[in-house]
Amino acid sequence: MWDKGDTILVDAEPTQQNSSLWCLSREDSGIQPRITSMSKLGKTLRNDLLKLGEKFSTVIVDTGGQDSTELRASLLAADVIISPMRPSQFDIWTLDRMNKLVVDAKQVNENMRAYILLNAAHTNPLVDETKESVQYFKEGHYENIHLLPFVLYDRRIYRKVVGGFSVHETGTDGKAEAELNQLYKEVFNV
């Protein structure tokens, strides 16, 4: 029996099941706390997520960034959506598409908050892509999607961390931790 107060991670990525694999290797490594996870695909995902929301205090869903049945179904159930984008691939077309998906979803799920997160930003201050991306966003005058006021930089720790650990659990990259803390604060208010 699940207790309310727990967190569940739902892997709803149609092409690759990275979140499930991460949980599995976490389990194999015996890392605490355990993270309950499940895979769910298809149109029934919205109802499944709403039901899970009654049992768990936090439901985290990974749909992947591509447009999919799973992304659309999740948008209909989510309180918060975070859409990570790399500044180098950041373009008006992608933002327009995300904005449209959010506008459609808000007809049913009106209180959802939708955020764009700039991820894997260049650490070299001479590279302007992040600034340019922020500028692009401003010029779009989107009313339904909000740009988070911080970025996650491209840091090797994300590629090096294995065995189901989190960046914080490796304790080796204070900068990446501080950046992630801003995200946790925004989403979970911690």
Ligand X SMILES: Nc1ncnc2c1ncn2[C@@H]1O[C@H](COP(=O)(O)OP(=O)(O)OP(=O)(O)O)[C@@H](O)[C@H]1O
Query: Which of residues 6 and 88 has its CB atom nearest to ligand X in the complex?
Result: 88
Q: Does 14 bind ligand X (CB under 6 A)?
A: no
Query: Which of residues 58 and 68 has its CB atom nearest to Mg ion in the complex?
Result: 68
The listed partner (ligand X, Mg ion, none) that binds 181, CB under 5 to 8 Å by sort, is: none
> Could you say which of 2, 18, 97, 132 contacts ligand X (CB under 6 A)?
18
Residue showing the smallest CB distance to Mg ion in the complex: 64
> Could you say which of 75, 155, 164, 173 contacts ligand X (CB under 6 A)?
155
Query: Which of residues 115 and 158 has its CB atom nearest to ligand X in the complex?
Result: 158
Q: Does 98 bind ligand X (CB under 6 A)?
A: no
Query: Which residues of this chain interact with Mg ion, rule CB under 5 A?
Result: 64
Kindly report the three-state secondary structure assignment for every residue of the chain: CCCCCCEEEEECCCCCCHHHHHHHHHHHHCCCCCCEEEECCCCCHHHHHHHHHHHCCEEEEECCCCCCHHHHHHHCCCCEEEEEECHHHCCHHHHHHHHHHHHHHHCCCCCCEEEEEEEEECCCCCCCHHHHHHHHHHHHCCCCEEEEEEEEECCCHHHHCCCCCCHHHHCCCHHHHHHHHHHHHHHHCC
The listed partner (ligand X, Mg ion, none) that binds 38, CB under 5 to 8 Å by sort, is: none
> Could you say which of 31, 60, 120, 183 contacts ligand X (CB under 6 A)?
120
Binding span for ligand X by CB under 6 A among 34-42, 122-130, 141-149, 150-158: 150-158
Q: Are the beta carbons of 20 and 39 closer than 8 angstroms?
A: yes
Dihedral sign, CA of 108, 45, 190, 184?
Answer: negative
Site string for ligand X, 45-84 (x = CB under 6 A): -------------------xxx------------------
Interface ranges with ligand X (CB under 6 A): 13, 18, 64-66, 119-120, 152, 154-155, 158-159
